[in-house]
Structure 1
């Protein structure tokens, strides 16, 4: 098992790489750096020979190699690296299988009006892929994860594979899980605990919290602050073409502008 982190050597991805390295050490596994090679703007606007392109590619690969060596020495972990001309979306499915990765780590872009409308690379990966994605905001620095907030809008039909992945993460981190459920109809702050949740999380310290609210996103954001959670876990849903036009994914919204990491575990 390993952890894959995507980097383009930006400040945002550099922070995600450091977070992933620290997490890799705690999980006692291998870190894999992936860089999708893109031509600089000035180079893309000029006519470069195949040899010149290869030189630029090799320079980036050497930079990735040096980063891997530095991380391995600093965190005392095994670090592999891979660079490709293909973009992250095209390559990551193969990488996840090749390295038997737990999840993909990627930087989480700040919130903006444009991203609310069009999304960003992080939200695109979350919505398109069928593996866990850990999004790291620029403000998030690694610390021991003790409190996991599992925010969901269903309780009875959570897939067993999703719960199994949540359980693995919680046990590996030795963290407690709060199952946070927002419902417009509930009049009292209590729920009937689904037996499947208790069974799948029986060896994890877990709690339940239910609130009545018409605004799921604001309720989750408020709970993050109140509970001092270290990690937010959500389940993105797949929508058809017309549904995707009128429905804004809660996970997609939360994957932009948060101050703590977001682990997206897909419903399979």
Structure 2
């Protein structure tokens, strides 16, 4: 800087100090070289943690309210929104669960109704095909001719069962009432039936091995036996008298039903024997004539 003529040096130095530096390319380069390194900008957290900011008189920071709560302790809008959303999800889950449960109950009830309808349809179809009655031979019909093997290794035929009353019982292990009746027969500690009981079980051999010894178990290989007896429902019991004539048929669900059936057969046999004795004493027609009329009928 050139000094003007007639101006002292002190005044020139004072003006130089007061005058701001002129701009220019060379000056900007010099300032950039002397510029201090930039610091990271201070955030709200820095100002909040700075000394004296948000602290009490003792220098300690006061405890803040839980996040999301207002100054009065009421829930904030975000928390209300989250609670409403979670409540809606819970309500939707409960509604879907109840709907699934109701649907399951309705489906089970429909399946039960369809089972009964299908059984009726099967009965009608078999009746139309001439296979009825389904519960066995009609009362009063003679036993069919048959021959089958027993689980003990013997044989049984229509000639063997004639001469004394008895009951044929047809079961299937896939039938729930049949399984219940098998369990009752296996665990029964009472006396045996007063008449022979012939049982044919379709299915596994475990159920046949559990039956007591007084029951005559027929091997299921004799598949023609149920067809000969016209038995297509399970369980099915067919009772016959000493002459080999069917006197009763039923669908037993317990061993007590079989005992009652056997008792009725015995009572009928006793009454028939008493009638024969009375006829022999002359109180009725001759026995031979009566038997001849029965054969003709």
TM-score above 0.5, yes or no: no
Which has the greater radius of gyration?
2
